[in-house]
Amino acid sequence: MRNFIPLVALVSCCAVSVSAAVSCTVTAAGAGKDDAPALLAAVQACPTTIIPTGTTLNISTRLDMTGLSNKEIKLQGTIRFNPNIPYWSGNGFSYPFQTQVTFWQLGGSNLRIDGGGTLDGAGQAWYDAFNKNSSLLRPILLTIYKAQNVVIEGINMINSPEWFNFVNEGTGITYNLLNLSAVSTSKNLAKNTDGWDIYRSDSVTITNCNINNGDDCVAFKPNATNILVNNLLCNGSHGISVGSLGQYPGVYDIVENVVASNIRISNAENGARVKAWAGKNVGSGIVKNVTFSGFTQTNNANPVIIDQCYETSASACSQYPSNTYINGVTFNGMVGTSSKKAAGSLLCSPDNRCANVAVNNFNLTYVKKGNLTYTCQNVALTGNAASLFGTCTTT
């Protein structure tokens, strides 16, 4: 327990008293003011920054917190990103990968965010604006960028304009005990609100989280390796997805050593999914040693899916099959209900682009009357659920 906690009064772009300070407390400057400079100054100056319960910081300018070391942000109150769309449209941090932008980039080593509070992306204005302008770039709520040893634990994240969490070029990144929720209150859906996208990162764990969103619950993007996802409750999502991979010409994408286990997933477009691009001008890659295990699925449209013709027409896919190969994917323990009759679709590109795919312990039922159907193509399935798929077609 610390007995010396200097409370630093931070107004606008104030100085922070640093000497001997072990923690800084940041409170809101008041209506109409931007609290970003005070938050940035506090995090620079102090090992621990506290945003107390009852405080809502109004963040109106971008937060660059890269290159830090040994910092904790105790988020007990709320950090809310002011939805000033014209400002963010020119001023978010941008990444070439899938043309992403973000409000906040956090990087460096030995960093923690905890405290039980809330990150609020004020997404409603964005969901409504995106409905009118589909080229609007909506910011990611929190990007961990070029970081090692980061823990994000025990906070809530609400109404992200787009992806909630982007892990970009990190190692040793842990997310635990988080609640994520993006819900639109208008007819315009909270689109592309992925829970996590992991990119060019190694040793990432996501455990014990509750997600209610409108796109992938978790996505393993190019060069996500050694990832553990365990005990998630996903609702309304597009599933736990590998990919999409092999999108960019000349780029080689690797997803390797991934486990997603103990997942309860409901009302989703997909359950466990692998998606890779095919076609003329795309990239290449490999999906290796990926296990989806213990999925309790409720009312999901495609509980089990491999799509090696992602975003590619059937004719282009047969002319230019995917150069993202698949070697070693296990679907184990897929139980619950499918909202569509076609519950499993493992459609691979030909010529051994898909190998070592195992299906075990399936017990899915159709939400309506009748039996489910399972299809496969260009893959020799193993495992005790292989018979459900019958003989795979070849093309």
Ligand X SMILES: *[C@@H]1O[C@H](CO)[C@@H](O)[C@H](O)[C@H]1NC(C)=O
Which chain residues interact with ligand X by CB under 6 A? 31-34, 58, 60, 82, 89, 116, 133, 135-137, 154-156, 179, 200, 210, 212, 222-223, 226, 235-236, 251-254, 257, 259, 267, 289, 363, 365, 370-371
In the complex, least distance from residue 367 CB atom to ligand X, rounded to whole angstroms: 11
- Pick the closer one to ligand X by CB: 21 or 357: 357
Residue 158 · residue 121 · CB < 8 Å: yes
In the complex, least distance from residue 287 CB atom to ligand X, rounded to whole angstroms: 12
In the complex, least distance from residue 158 CB atom to ligand X, rounded to whole angstroms: 11
Written as one string, the DSSP assignment of 50-81 is EE-TT-EEEE-S-EEEEEEEEEEEEESSEEEE
Chain centroid to CA 202: 15
- Pick the closer one to ligand X by CB: 21 or 325: 325
Task: Tell me the residue number closest to ligand X, measured at CB.
Answer: 236
Helices (H) and strands (E) in the chain, counts: 5, 27
Helices (H), ranges, 245-380: 314-319
Give the Å distances, CA to CA, from 93 to 19, 76, 141, 149, 266: 31, 26, 11, 22, 33
- Pick the closer one to ligand X by CB: 107 or 362: 362
In the complex, least distance from residue 28 CB atom to ligand X, rounded to whole angstroms: 8
Residue 255 · residue 245 · CB < 8 Å: yes
In the complex, least distance from residue 167 CB atom to ligand X, rounded to whole angstroms: 13
Q: Which amino acid is at 66?
A: T
Which of 138, 200, 221, 238 does the annotation list as catalytic? 238
Question: 224-254: buried (b, 16+ CB within 10 Å) or exposed (e) per residue?
Answer: bbbbebbbbbbbbbbbbbbbbbbbbeeeebb
Give the Å distances, CA to CA, from 116 to 50, 77, 159: 11, 8, 17
In the complex, least distance from residue 243 CB atom to ligand X, rounded to whole angstroms: 12
Length of the chain equals: 395
Our answer to whether residue 238 is catalytic in this structure is yes
What is the C-alpha separation between 273 and 278, in angstroms, rounded? 16
Which residues are known catalytic residues?
238
